Structure 1
Amino acid sequence: MRILILMSDIGGGHRSCTLALQQEFAHWFPGVHEVFSVDVFKQFAPWPLDYVPLAYKYIANKLPGFWQWVFSNYGSLITEEQMATWLAGYLEPYFELLFDRMRPDLLVTVNPLFHPTLFRHLRATGRDLPIVSVVSDLVTPHGSWFHSQLDLCCVPTVQAAVAARRYRVSERNVRVYGLPVRRQFVDVEVRERRAWKRLLDMEEQLPLVLIIGGGEGFGTIAALVEQLVASRRRKAMPDCQVAVVCGRNKALARRLSQSFGTEQVRVLGFVTDMHAWMAASDCAVTKAGPGTIMEAAAMGLPVILSGFVPGQEAENPAFVIRHGMGTYAPSPASQVSVLTEWLSDERKLGRFSDAARATACARAGQSIVEEVDRLFG
């Protein structure tokens, strides 16, 4: 079976979900299914739609209030059918080209932005392709994720399942499996935290705080590092070392390297071994992206959430707190305060770590691909 995953690299969560599914198909069904992925907006959409990922990242980071308004008023500003009609002239010829070129037997979508036009195109052309949606928003997914034409809708939480049914997805087509994470987070080599620190050339005896800016280096990372280093200099908190993942934000990486390069601060760019850094770390500060939250859960890593994208991530801090795997601290000062408390109490950190592992859905990806094979293979 030829499986085409339709995604858009709008955030690391969609990309990570796509990679996780590809890994699971290859692991559990080697040589059985051909799996391809396409970034719809970057690889096939014409101007100006090819700028949608950049526009979203800018708005979500710089204009969160505006994004909240768009998210909350999407249905009243423009209906799904109106959106599909407006985009049809731009995207439908490219969907036709894509399907003719790839000849898929099944579609898997991991991003909802092109759903209205996709469903309209399939109806108009009579293409009888099963459609599976793998929802990557944890608790408050946008309504555009869901459609009555979906043959299978895989969601990460019970709350997301309720939303799916509210938006006309048949209950028999909804599965709650969790959010798939890449295999390196599931099958990570069992080592002591100190061994991972040694592998990464970090000090074995010192606690390691991991600061994650996401793929684009979002957040008030510089202010946090500055206050963390200052607090450590004053001996106002336990001694520790810091690793900062700046993502693709090269300017931030240069600034931190120049300012704190000799302060037990390791500055990293975009990393491909995040599982190793999570395995070596005692706790992490990150924004409330669903992919990072569930990767941390799989690694038993307590998290301090520094912020969230309004709308689809709004309830993620409550999810983390409810499951006992971390807390929410929106300012650098509050983050340093929590870090001071946690690093002073190993047993508390241990409880957060145990709760994180209990929250993980390590076999979510396996469950999804097995169900796809059972239903459509």
Structure 2
Amino acid sequence: MLSISARHAQTYGKTRVLILGAAYGAGHLQAGLALQAALAHIRPEWEVKTCNFVEMVSPAFDVFSRKFYLFMVRHFPLCYQWFYHLTDAVKPRKGYLLDRFGCRRLQGFVDEFGPRVVVATFPTPGRVAATLKLEGKSQVPVVMVITDHTVHSEWIHPGVDLYLVPDEGVREMLLKRGISSHIIRVSGIPIRPGFADNLNQTAARHHLGLDEKVPVVLLVGGGNGRVTAMEEICAGLSRLRLGMQVLVITGEDVTYRERLCSKFEGDPRFRFYGFVNNMAEFMTAADVLITKAGALTLAEAASAGLPVIIYRCLPAQEEANALYYAQHRAALQVRNQEELLLSVEKILLDRGELAASLSAAIRKLARPRAAFDAACAIAELVE
């Protein structure tokens, strides 16, 4: 049960919302921050906190597990894929190390902070919060925000009060796994409110210091560009005899960015950036995006109407994301560098026909109000 201090905070103090994610890629925490911004807009009197759950439980384990995750997806992607599908086939147990330590740590944090709801953008904290509720150690409702276009068994827990999902296909997957339809809401993948609103290509290019008349290729590698063959892609693009500007966003890996800068410093068409907070401006300035299949990046591209080429997506959930966009003809998924370079040339040189087709298709998948729709669903649950 909740402590007296937590009950007092809920009854007499501010309404508090706790959003928990993880840093395995940038998408989970970014989705949480998008929800926080939307909640601040619709309920400015509420106090909303977004945390990295794994770091909360153990900072040392957070660092180790993120490095191990990146090592696996980079060097042993088939092993990661095998592990993903193996764990999907079994029911998650509280015996998992992170769950055992997480229950104690989260219970203490819930008692101290006194949230009216726990929102999880990564499955583990949602599962832990739901376990506490079923064991009678918490009365706080739990919301799972699924951030890929597929479902893994770790998202499933009988103590969850609401599932917010990206599309109808994921809703059907949950129904097939026995989840009641009345606790599933299709809201989309949360991206920052107002993403790409009131922006135009000319102004975006001017603000970024780009030539307004030269085509722009944007290369995004997610939170850590080292896992997405960026060096290989840049080498291929450097061989194209096209007038273009190539913007490369490597994420948080400063060493990798410096390495790419050094290798391609002789080609003035290339510009390299680390982690950026103005992704909407970059996407508005671009003519085409080359990326892996991170769901949040693809959702942002859809909101911007930006043609996408998917290359070297990570195994498991990113394969599902790529399939979702490819099935809707909203992105080109290429198998090798030759196909990648041909696709770039075709988009930039075909007088806009392919680009217009891809832009129109991906806009149909856009849910620019996803964060607000999810925030409203959370508010309804609380109130």
TM-score when scaled to structure 2?
Answer: 0.90
Deviation string 1:68-110 (CA, Å, 9 cap, x unpaired) is: 111111155x6423545x5454222212221122111111111
Equivalent pair of 1:247/1:268 in contact (CA under 8 Å):
yes
8 Å Cα contact 2:229-2:312 kept in structure 1: no
Aligned residues: 366
CA shift at 1:282, angstroms? Answer: 0.3
**Residues 349 and 118 of structure 1, relative CA distance in 2, 3 Å threshold:** same
- 1:183 matched residue in structure 2: 193
Q: Report the equivalent of 1:28.
A: 42
Residue-by-residue CA offset, 1:96-134 (whole Å, 9 max, x unaligned): 221122111111111013444333233224311111111
Contact 2:130 2:160 in 1 (8 A): no
One-letter amino acid matched to 1:210: L
Q: Secondary structure at the match of 1:4?
A: strand
Mapping 1:62-77, distance limit 5 Å: 62-75=75-88
Change beyond 3 A, Cα 1:231–1:72: same
Q: 1:207 aligns with which of 192, 195, 215?
A: 215
Q: Distance in 2 between matches of 1:258 and 1:130?
A: 51
Distance in 2 separating the partners of 1:330 and 1:243: 22
For 1:311 and 1:98, locate their aligned partners in 2 and report how far apart those are by CA, in whole Å.
Answer: 32
Aligned residue type for 2:29: R
Q: 1:168 corresponds to which residue?
A: 178
Task: Give the structure 2 partner of residue 370 of structure 1.
Answer: 376
CA distance in 1, matches of 2:88, 2:359: 40
What secondary structure does 1:147 align onto? coil
8 Å contact 1:41–1:51 — kept in the other structure?
Answer: no
| Aligned residue number for residue 8 of structure 2 | none
Cα distance in 2 for partners of 1:62, 1:352 equals: 32
Aligned to 2:57: 44
Other-structure match for 1:131:
142
Quote the Cα distance in structure 2 between the aligned partners of 1:15 and 1:46. 16
> Does 11-20 or 160-169 show the bigger shift?
160-169
1:49 deviates by 5.9
Listed as ranges, the matches of 1:1-377 within 5 Å are 1-31=15-45, 33-45=46-58, 48=61, 51-75=64-88, 79-81=91-93, 83-84=95-96, 86-138=97-149, 140-186=150-196, 188-191=197-200, 193-217=201-225, 218-232=227-241, 238-261=242-265, 262-345=267-350, 346-377=352-383
User: Which has the higher mean CA deviation after the structures are superposed, 204-213 or 86-95?
Assistant: 86-95
Out of 348-357 and 334-343, give the one that drifted further: 348-357
Q: CA deviation at 1:206?
A: 0.7
Corresponding letter in the other structure for 2:156: F
1:24 and 1:352 map into 2 onto residues whose CA distance is 29
Q: What is the Cα deviation at residue 194 of structure 1? A: 2.4
Shift of the 163–354 alpha-carbon distance from structure 1 to 2, 3 Å rule, reads same
Give distance in 2, aligned partners of 1:365 and 1:82: 30
Q: In the aligned structure 1, how far is the partner of 2:146 from the partner of 2:100?
A: 26
Instruction: Give the partner amino acid of 2:190.
Output: P
1:41–1:53 CA contact under 8 A, matched in 2: no
Cross-structure match for 1:235? none
Q: Secondary structure at the match of 1:203?
A: coil
Q: Could you say what secondary structure the match of 2:159 adopts?
A: coil
Identify if the C-alpha distance between structure 1 residues 205 and 42 changes in structure 2 by more than 3 Å, giving closer, same or farther: same
SS of alignment partner, residue 309 of structure 2: strand
1:80 is paired with a residue whose SS is coil
What's the CA shift for 1:40? 1.1
CA RMSD, 1 decimal: 1.9
State the Cα deviation string for residues 310-339 of structure 1 (Å, max 9, x = none).
Answer: 221222222222223221113332211110
User: What are structure 1's unaligned runs of at least 5 residues?
Assistant: 233-237
- Tell me how far apart the structure 2 counterparts of residues 221 and 330 of structure 1 sit (CA, whole Å): 15
Deviates more, 1:249-258 or 1:96-105: 249-258
